A and B are shown apart, each in its own frame.
Chain A
């Protein structure tokens, strides 16, 4: 058999109203080519958002859909896949049973992902679809995805992520909430609009969307609108639709009942249920911005997964992602009035120490990123109070949502930040002990570095801007030309380097630059 050098991959996304899969191959040059896209309507959202758990029929339907998907994967010999479940499964009380049933009946391992991870995946796909659109360059763009159970909103400037957030406003949720009360169609539409308007003020409180110049929309419902309004859009990654045309289209759809939509457009009933609430949400958000058109991207969470799965691109993408995550961390820091200069200095010093130790300690690029985020956020607990502020930092970080980071990752970062002062990790510390063993090791190492970095900028004078790190036998030698008097720093270090020594087996020595010649 001719061996194909191309990697075959599959991305599965278990959403609120459908289970979808893309099978793709990676062509030379990192081009991902979608071979097949499958979609099966399963009413996970209806169960999750009204009953709080998934019914037996729904679980059975999901198993059946995935069994079929598995057959399609097998036809290509797909080895690498990632299957994720989003809000509907996340919010169901029996989600673990559900995942277990999927695993035993299909052999597919499905993981539940949270809002920020979902955002990261979609955003990485959107960025990819926007490549080459120079017009979007500098201006501020609002990015919106209305799902069945939640709406993801993000702000980009100059192609960089500024802010992102997830709101529990979804087409399925809206439908479920409204149809409980309203009987008449017009009444339902009015209630949709009122509900959306309520969320709109929440969104505007968190994100500055009113000056966004571009409006980028993703999601199945808005893709449908793009297809209807732009017949040539089938193969396009981006469709541009005038705001007026979009508004007119949405209004004409809201005149039709679900049955009417299903008949007119021959779409599955489940799609007919979500279409109008979703499009109304897109429309109302659009009206809050300066954008004159809606840019519909064909990007999906699946495209993001496929990019993750493609190995060649991984390094480049991680770098890009790291930039986005740090920018999200700074935005969180600002929310808690952090001392930006101090945070940046501590981050820089931490990174220098890390880079020196990295190779022998088998630490990775991801660890470096955790350390940076922890360094940026280590003091945000001061927002609550200065006493035990490291503990406040811990819970503020661990209960936040940070773009691009999954819950367990955030937990790890929160632990690092927690140990930037005072007590060392102990068996009695529940959040620390809740980590896996290798995670605990990582937390200790990274916290030890953070402690040193923090000590060196204890006076908030940002003097150590030129720190050089070198090594002499079992000692780490730090040299600075800038700092005339190292006495203060040595004092600060004295009480804080024991932990470092215990973890790495190395002493930290602070030395003036040799003024020879």
Chain B
């Protein structure tokens, strides 16, 4: 196939770095409210941390086991690492400059002051010193590094100080190296007493001020901060062709675990840096110098500090869908029509109420649900499920324990569910369950009814305010019976059946998507209208990319809205010139996945929990579902088109793999996330006005 020629594929890692650069761009954008810029700055770094721990670590593993296969774009693992390191170095430069010469001064103007070490007022100095003596000093443990012994195991992502010392009595002796780990229990930023402004001081600076207290009898030559990132050690990266962690011999594994993937450091002398590097056995390219804070995570405490509303996005409280306004029984409502929710414009509350109603409704027989990432203990969804089980309903919950970094949080409330009598499944062997579905079985006078919620996002009311996601509430028979069959499949009660409506990965979703793309190409060949609108977080899967290119070549107009990684290079003449790719980064994290196929004039609309990545289509249980109701299809198409017209926060992917903001030109500024909220509000108002006022006289008793 011509699409497989190097050229149409972009390297996945550099595409991800481009995505993160867009996050940094939002931090740089002076149009954005200051604290939101600071948030994007933090997100940029948090993303980068995970990228190193997962992706860079994975490339290292490939190299170590001698896998030198090039990726679809033709780059071998060492070539990819070189590219990554070069780009990341540039990004550090930009982010450091942004922090020190833009964000910090701008914050100071708003009376949010982060004091530099030499700038403390006398009262503050006193406060810091007292704090040091009472709170910090007792928990610090300096560790001497002696070369024949292994380097102390330092926790990843925390701030450490490297100190070069010399005995005061032995001024000519060899300087020795010591390390101080700043315990995670201490706040990263210390709030200073002040009545006029919010004044903060970095904990690391507080320690630095009193370093000599820690090394009595020594002469301090130099002290500088550094921070490590390690291989996350979990086989997090499911896209790899094999289990590299499993392949490594245990002795090798131990050594690599000790060895950091990355060291970020403050300015330090070549001698100190050299000694650190030798002690930890890392190569030059793993060293990253930054003049911003090494660990920016404490800055998030400022971002969410109460007050300062003028420095954040204007509040857009989620709205209740007008159909749900009348506050009638949700089950009764769904008997007549499906309801589509678009979070966070539409409130997530109806979903919570849906599960809650199931828990308390005496006619509900069973509740079944998948839970991937919830808000953890105290989650209203989990509480409802526990209550449902206590109320004697058959409750089946599939808890995905391998959801990244969430394991601990998951396990406790899962136990609570079990104690309440629910049937809890902890995932499937070899497959991560990423589908988002809830099923309620209810006994009604007319017989058994089934109510289903299907979504593109997690059952997490907190992220539902920050991520854009679609959800469908339906009582349609085909969905009900498919939902039952889905749960029978994942509980192992039954083999996967042929579904009526649902499309499931890894059994059939890839094939279905390909069939839909090819059908669109067939329409194009017969000269009919043919168009694909698709929105997702990542487009990586080579087969899907090739199919899209083939459809584009057949004449299908393809508009892709891919928030993160996109390995399809658009605009390659004769290959992908019919494909346009945009990415929107704005206040809400774009997270919904939707596919529209114009299908010769009778459009089909699918929503999905899956991205077009090999791991989603091959090794995860995912669900894609079609919208049946015409008005709902139209609404999704309208939303997708609105996003395609964004000229404020949308970037267009260029042929060279870089992104640039869509030029608004003379057209009116159009910011999709803002516009969609306004539209949701208008729609609600319209319905309110149209609802006739009822005059109900209150009669007094005679």
Contacts and interface: CB of A to CB of B under 8 A. Distances in A.
B488 A6 contact: no
Contact of A234 (B441, B491, B498, B507): B498
B365 A75 contact: yes
Interface stretch (A36-44, A109-117, A507-515): A36-44
Contacts of A194: none
A2 interface: yes
A5 interface: yes
Interface in A238-283: 266, 268
Contacts of A35: 448, 481, 484
B443 A2 contact: yes
Interface in A361-383: none
A266 B507 contact: yes
B447 A33 contact: yes
Contacts of A18: 495
A464 B447 CA distance: 54
A4 B443 contact: yes
A235 B447 contact: no
Contacts of B495: 18, 39-41, 268
A461 interface: no
Interface stretch (A64-72, A118-126, A451-459): A64-72
A76 B494 contact: no
Contacts of A60: none
B67 interface: no
Contact of A40 (B363, B494, B500): B494
A162 to B, nearest CB: 33
Interface in A275-315: none
B492 interface: yes
Give the interface size class of chain B: 20 to 34
A497 to B, nearest CB: 56
Nearest to B393: A75
A111 to B, nearest CB: 23
Interface in B364-380: 365-366
B491 A68 contact: yes
Interface string B9-22: 00000000000000
A413 B271 CA distance: 105
Contacts of A79: none
A268 B495 CA distance: 8
A8 B443 CA distance: 11
Interface in B479-502: 481, 484-485, 488, 491-495, 497-498, 500
B447 A37 contact: no
Interface in B329-375: 362-363, 365-366
A36 B362 contact: no
Nearest to A6: B447
A10 B582 CA distance: 52
Dominant SS among interface residues on chain A: mixed
A5 B444 CA distance: 9
B148 interface: no
A471 interface: no
A77 B484 contact: no
A69 B493 contact: yes
Given A2-B444, A27-B447, A37 B365 contact: no
B485 to A, nearest CB: 7
B394 interface: yes
B270 interface: no
A74 B445 contact: no
Nearest to B478: A235
A423 interface: no
B508 interface: yes
Contacts of B441: 75-76
Interface in B523-578: none
B500 A38 contact: no
Interface string B497-515: 1101000001110000000
18 contacts: A1-B362, A1-B363, A4-B445, A25-B448, A27-B446, A35-B484, A36-B485, A38-B494, A39-B495, A39-B497, A40-B494, A68-B494, A74-B394, A75-B394, A76-B448, A234-B500, A266-B507, A266-B508
The 9 closest A-B pairs by CB, nearest first: A38-B494, A68-B493, A75-B394, A6-B447, A75-B366, A36-B484, A4-B443, A266-B507, A1-B362
Given A1-B362, A39-B495, A76-B365, 17 more contacts: A1-B443, A4-B443, A4-B446, A4-B448, A6-B447, A35-B448, A35-B481, A35-B484, A36-B485, A36-B488, A38-B494, A68-B492, A68-B493, A71-B394, A71-B493, A75-B441, A227-B498
